[in-house]
A and B are shown apart, each in its own frame.
Chain A
Amino acid sequence: MILVQHLSKRFGRAHVLTGLDFAASAGERVALVGQNGSGKTTFMRCLLGLYRYEGQITVGGHEPRTERSALLEEVAFVPQLPPAFRLTVGEYVELIEATCRVREERIFSLAHELGLDVEAIWDRPFPALSGGMKQKLLSAVAIARRPKLLVMDEPGANLDPTARRILYTQLARLDDDTTMLLSSHRVDELAGLVTRVVELDGGRIVLDDVVARATELDSIAGSTQAFVELVDAPASVSSTLQEWGFVPTEGGWRGTVANPDRFRFLALMTRWSGLVRRFTFDDPRGPQGPGDDLSER
């Protein structure tokens, strides 16, 4: 479904994607993870034909820049931040009906599941909706289109836990041959839904992990206490640790890593091997168990 070869993208002198290779077959559900600025959004925008790029991309056999309309017939996208267009909800739904092969009844039904009554807000300006309402509507539209490729940037970002759970259920109900590319900062958000985890860092794929069973990540849900002692802590490293929720303590940094994210965290430690003096994962088998000093094994 997706074939990416030697993809590079730069803005001025800033190289955001560097020689990236990626392939996903029909039905694969990929979690695209990485820190802020890792290139996730740029990668998705290249796939959607919003950016020029170097290298080759085909999505469903179509080249994103030269065959945009044909490609976008088969692709649905939900951005992280809802657009601020000056339409009413009704006009937005009419726009979708006019440009995509979808019936409004299906949008209503899916939105209703998420707790949004579209008909009741038909005449309201789209910008007047709350962030959660916009996200529900955009998600309902994307799923209603039954795309061959569904691209969602932080799908659960603006949703309450209940709506998030229902959204993931709706995603799981999509046809088996629907390919998904779901961007998130944290894998645990998508545990149970994805079959593969791809991590970007510095515009490159640094981790590509196939999950054998859809429930594999879910079955190890939970979290693990971790401790990192650094030789030196440059600002970028401190910033990344803070994004992981770590706080500086005496002698190092302490935080909690969601179990599905542990491999990603280990990969991060590997890349920082020159900076890390010691790090430990507490033994998840028991609260009193001694920490596993992974750096000494």
Chain B
Amino acid sequence: MSEAIVTVTEQQPHRRGRLGPLGTMAWLDLRETLRARWFQLYVLGFTSLMGLFFVFGLAESQVMGFTGLGRLLLTFIQITLVVLPIFVLVTTARTLVGDREAGVFEYVLTLPVSLAAYYWGRLLGRTAAIALPLVAALGAGALIERLRGGEVPWAVVLYYSGLVLALTFCFLGLAMLISVVSRTQEMAIGLAFGVWLALEALIDALLIGLLVQERAPVESVMAAALLNPLQAFRTAAIALFDPELTILGSVSYALLDILGQGGLLAWALAWPTVLGAGAAAVGAFIFVRRDAL
């Protein structure tokens, strides 16, 4: 190796990245996510699912009153309801605690980027990475149906896209909070799984069980149902098509009766978003105030 010292030209002031610290962090997280194996499997899984629905003629089937693309979308959204929350929780709850364990914080957090920009940038990038493939799959389904000459319920497609975004943001917010408070990745995964299990448990069947077996007050059961984002999501998704008691379940039916269809649909969009934002804000509050390492 030559030991000759290369003369370095005088440093010119460099123009800041156009994205700013927040955008830069979001862009970096997005690129990192796009490269991750879990993300590639996730995209492959959901696009394959949509493709399979068409291949097996789900759009032409008629079951329990749901027909055409509506049935296909409802099936897609029901699968999303099962897969998305646990997927988001497990993959995202590891991020910040994983960065801390891997020594990334020790370096990246000594760059002139505020802790808030780092935190919210990561959340923004991850939201885009998780939600966009789902919205794209919904859009692609609608487009294919349109090209085949079928009728596309655009309002439903739009509302489901909103639901997917709300649910994604909700669980990302919860996952970021878990990631901040966890000391190890193992602890984060355990907490994430616990949150998912609790929310899955508090849907219609268990709530009715509580009502009957424990004689819980109806108001508290309704409140629990309203505050469970999974319950709100599930009820709103079905209520668009056939708000019958046999399909919805008794608690969801009661919710629909209390709020009305418009109110329920608005609640299902607003509450998960607020819950996710609240959890993320609490996570940010803790993140910027405690030791980074």
Given the contacts A79-B103, A85-B108, A115 and B24 also touching, CB distance less than 8 Å: no
When distances are taken between beta carbons in the complex, the residues of chain B under 8 Å from A157 are none
Q: Is the CB of B24 within 8 A of A103?
A: no
Q: Is the CB of A83 within 8 A of B103?
A: yes
Contact residues of A between 210 and 259, Cβ < 8 Å to B: none
Let me know if B213 is at the binding interface, CB within 8 A. Answer: no
Minimum CB–CB distance for A200 against chain B, Å: 18
Minimum CB–CB distance for A182 against chain B, Å: 16
Q: What 1/0 mask marks residues of chain A from 92 to 105 whose CB sits below 8 Å from any chain B CB?
A: 00111111111101
Q: Is the CB of B17 within 8 A of A83?
A: no
When distances are taken between beta carbons in the complex, the residues of chain B under 8 Å from A82 are 103, 107
Q: Is the CB of A83 within 8 A of B104?
A: yes
Let me know if A87 is at the binding interface, CB within 8 A. Answer: yes
Q: What 1/0 mask marks residues of chain B from 13 to 37 whose CB sits below 8 Å from any chain A CB?
A: 1101101010010001001100110
A91 to B9, CA, bound (A): 23
Q: Is the CB of A85 within 8 A of B102?
A: yes
When distances are taken between beta carbons in the complex, the residues of chain B under 8 Å from A86 are 32, 35-36
Q: Is the CB of B1 within 8 A of A115?
A: yes
When distances are taken between beta carbons in the complex, the residues of chain B under 8 Å from A102 are 11, 14
A32 to B113, CA, bound (A): 26
When distances are taken between beta carbons in the complex, the residues of chain B under 8 Å from A103 are 11-12, 14
When distances are taken between beta carbons in the complex, the residues of chain B under 8 Å from A129 are none
Minimum CB–CB distance for B102 against chain A, Å: 4
Residue in A49, A50, A115 with the greatest tally of chain B CB atoms within 10 Å:
A50
Contact residues of A between 26 and 84, Cβ < 8 Å to B: 45, 48-52, 68-69, 72-73, 75, 77, 79, 81-84
Minimum CB–CB distance for B257 against chain A, Å: 49
B110 nearest CB neighbor, chain A only: A77
When distances are taken between beta carbons in the complex, the residues of chain B under 8 Å from A94 are 17
When distances are taken between beta carbons in the complex, the residues of chain B under 8 Å from A267 are none
Given the contacts A50-B291, A68-B115, A98-B19, A79 and B11 also touching, CB distance less than 8 Å: no
Let me know if A158 is at the binding interface, CB within 8 A. Answer: no
Minimum CB–CB distance for B152 against chain A, Å: 39
Contact of B110 among A75, A91, A146, A165 (CB under 8 A): A75
Which interface class (under 10, 10 to 19, 20 to 34, 35 or more) fits A?
Answer: 35 or more
B291 nearest CB neighbor, chain A only: A51
Minimum CB–CB distance for B37 against chain A, Å: 11
Let me know if A262 is at the binding interface, CB within 8 A. Answer: no
Let me know if A15 is at the binding interface, CB within 8 A. Answer: no
A75 to B11, CA, bound (A): 17
Residue in A102, A112, A113, A138 with the greatest tally of chain B CB atoms within 10 Å:
A113
A69 to B112, CA, bound (A): 5
Minimum CB–CB distance for A121 against chain B, Å: 16
Let me know if B111 is at the binding interface, CB within 8 A. Answer: yes
Minimum CB–CB distance for A63 against chain B, Å: 14
Q: What 1/0 mask marks residues of chain A from 141 to 181 whose CB sits below 8 Å from any chain B CB?
A: 00010100000000000000011011001000100000000
Let me know if A106 is at the binding interface, CB within 8 A. Answer: yes
Q: Is the CB of B35 within 8 A of A99?
A: no
When distances are taken between beta carbons in the complex, the residues of chain A under 8 Å from B290 are 52
When distances are taken between beta carbons in the complex, the residues of chain A under 8 Å from B5 are 113, 169, 173
A86 to B122, CA, bound (A): 13
Contact of B6 among A49, A101, A112, A138 (CB under 8 A): A112
A28 to B6, CA, bound (A): 25
Let me know if A193 is at the binding interface, CB within 8 A. Answer: no
When distances are taken between beta carbons in the complex, the residues of chain B under 8 Å from A95 are 24, 28, 111
A163 to B290, CA, bound (A): 37
When distances are taken between beta carbons in the complex, the residues of chain B under 8 Å from A106 are 8-9, 11
Q: Is the CB of A91 within 8 A of B291?
A: no
Q: Is the CB of B112 within 8 A of A100?
A: yes
Given the contacts A146-B11, A173-B5, A81 and B110 also touching, CB distance less than 8 Å: no
A110 to B14, CA, bound (A): 17
Let me know if B144 is at the binding interface, CB within 8 A. Answer: no
Contact of A45 among B17, B24, B104, B106 (CB under 8 A): B106
Let me know if A18 is at the binding interface, CB within 8 A. Answer: no
A146 nearest CB neighbor, chain B only: B11
Let me know if B114 is at the binding interface, CB within 8 A. Answer: yes
When distances are taken between beta carbons in the complex, the residues of chain A under 8 Å from B111 are 72, 95-96, 99-100
Contact residues of B between 70 and 118, Cβ < 8 Å to A: 99, 102-115
Q: What 1/0 mask marks residues of chain B from 261 to 293 whose CB sits below 8 Å from any chain A CB?
A: 000000000000000000000000000011111
Q: List 26 A-B contacts (CB under 8 A).
A: A50-B110, A50-B293, A52-B291, A69-B114, A72-B112, A72-B113, A73-B112, A77-B110, A79-B106, A81-B103, A83-B106, A83-B107, A83-B108, A84-B104, A85-B99, A87-B31, A96-B111, A98-B24, A99-B111, A99-B113, A102-B14, A103-B12, A106-B8, A113-B5, A166-B1, A166-B3
A residues with a Cβ closer than 8 A to B are 45, 48-52, 68-69, 72-73, 75, 77, 79, 81-87, 91, 94-103, 105-106, 109-110, 112-113, 115, 138, 144, 146, 162-163, 165-166, 169, 173
Contacts A72-B110, A98-B19 known; list 19 others, CB within 8 Å: A48-B110, A49-B109, A50-B293, A69-B113, A69-B114, A75-B110, A87-B32, A98-B17, A98-B21, A99-B17, A99-B111, A101-B14, A103-B14, A109-B6, A112-B6, A113-B5, A146-B11, A162-B1, A169-B5
Top 9 closest pairs, chain A to chain B, by CB: A98-B17, A84-B102, A83-B107, A72-B112, A77-B110, A98-B24, A50-B292, A115-B1, A73-B112
